[in-house]
Amino acid sequence: MAIKERQHTYGMGRIYQRGKIWWVRYYRNGQEFNESSRSEKEAEAKNLLKKRQGEIALGRFAGPKAEKVMFSELAEDFLTDYRIRGRKSQTKIHFKVKPLLAAFGNDRAKSITTDRIKRYIAQRQEAGAAIATINRELAVLKRSFNLALQAEKIGGKPYIPLLTEQNVRTGFFEVEEFYAVRDALPSFLQPVATFGYYTGWRITEILTLQWRQVDLNAAEVRLDPGTTKSGEGRVIYLDGELLKMMHQQRAFVLNLQRERGEIIPWVFVNPETAGRIRNLRKSWAKTCRETGLAGRLFHDFRRTAVRNMVRVGVPEVVAMKISGHKTRSIFDRYNIVSEQDLREAARRISAPSPKDRDKIGTIAPFPPAALPTKNS
């Protein structure tokens, strides 16, 4: 259909009619775009032209096709990005995407507004989903929109609110509790507990540790880049009870190798199978119940190690390197205070003079020269 003479120019763009429908013409990087306003009203075309020119000026222009992009395409791009970056938990991430596809999969991305996202949150809560679960799904939603923006598939994204999580755990072990649990565990699991208590490493990092990563002569242990949750490598130096335990563990594994006539690469081994320890949940839960510490988690050693390192004066940046905390916010969640710390602080504050306060000592519950030993 021929373009009518009725047209108006606005800067580098213009509006014109094709039949009764108003169209807009604009340019980006020398490329011409013609887009229908789908309206017979001239004002609608003016608004569309202003919108497109604004998107171009702000670097948010994605083109007319952005209006038709479906959320299912965004979700597929998210999964592809997750896969090519070599992220772990490939199966778990699909469970986070599934409810989003059920809610938005047949919708255009531009139709997913903040109001709709809030209704989604309400529906997931009514379905009994935990707050943490919903937040992980919303994180996927946010990442999907960000990837689409980077690829210039869409011109904008909705505000995605997160729920406040009240279930942050604060459990930790005092030294007497550690020894009680450690000594009650089966003998082959006791070194695992010792390593976790002193280093704050994640249980999967401990159980997959191999002797090729350990240099007892240099008294160091290394985690290879890509094998940790953060993807970064890590090195720790062994000393005191931890170094003694690693020498004992090496002797134990060497003896097991001679008996079975095979090489055992794992540091922590199940003596019945000569393979690595796959899981200690049942033994851990049983031991905690028997020692009066039911409900404690192995992950509590992670919090404990952070607190202990800070207590004895280890710089926080060094403590983060040892425990493998990548961000300060997560590290701060673990650097928690015990009742003993609070009592000691109260005694120091209420001391009659600064000189007397100095006599009281530090908050550290054991000498800063070394971590505690069982006989201390």
Per residue in 20-56, pLDDT (tens digit) is: 888 888 887 777 878 888 888 888 888 888 887 877 7
For 175-339, which CATH class?
mainly alpha
Rounded distance between C-alpha atoms, residue 191 and residue 189, angstroms: 6
In this predicted structure, what is the pLDDT of residue 60?
65
Task: Write the DSSP string, 289-348.
Answer: HHTT-TT--TTHHHHHHHHHHHHTT--HHHHHHHHT--SHHHHHHHS---HHHHHHHHHH
In this predicted structure, what is the pLDDT of residue 1?
42
In this predicted structure, what is the pLDDT of residue 5?
46
Q: Structure tokens of 334?
A: 């673990």
Q: What is the CA radius of gyration of the chain?
A: 30
Helical residues (DSSP H) of 151-210, grouped into ranges: 175-184, 190-199, 203-207
Q: For the ranges 42-51, 84-93, 130-139, 191-200, which has the lowest average pLDDT?
A: 84-93
Domain boundaries 71-150, corresponding CATH code: 1.10.150
Q: How confident is the model at residue 310 (pLDDT cuts 50, 70, 90)?
A: confident
Q: Where are the domains of the chain?
A: 7-61, 71-150, 175-339
Q: How confident is the model at residue 369 (pLDDT cuts 50, 70, 90)?
A: very low
Would the CA dihedral through 200, 271, 228, 162 be positive or negative? negative
Most confident by average pLDDT, 15-29, 187-201, 326-340: 187-201
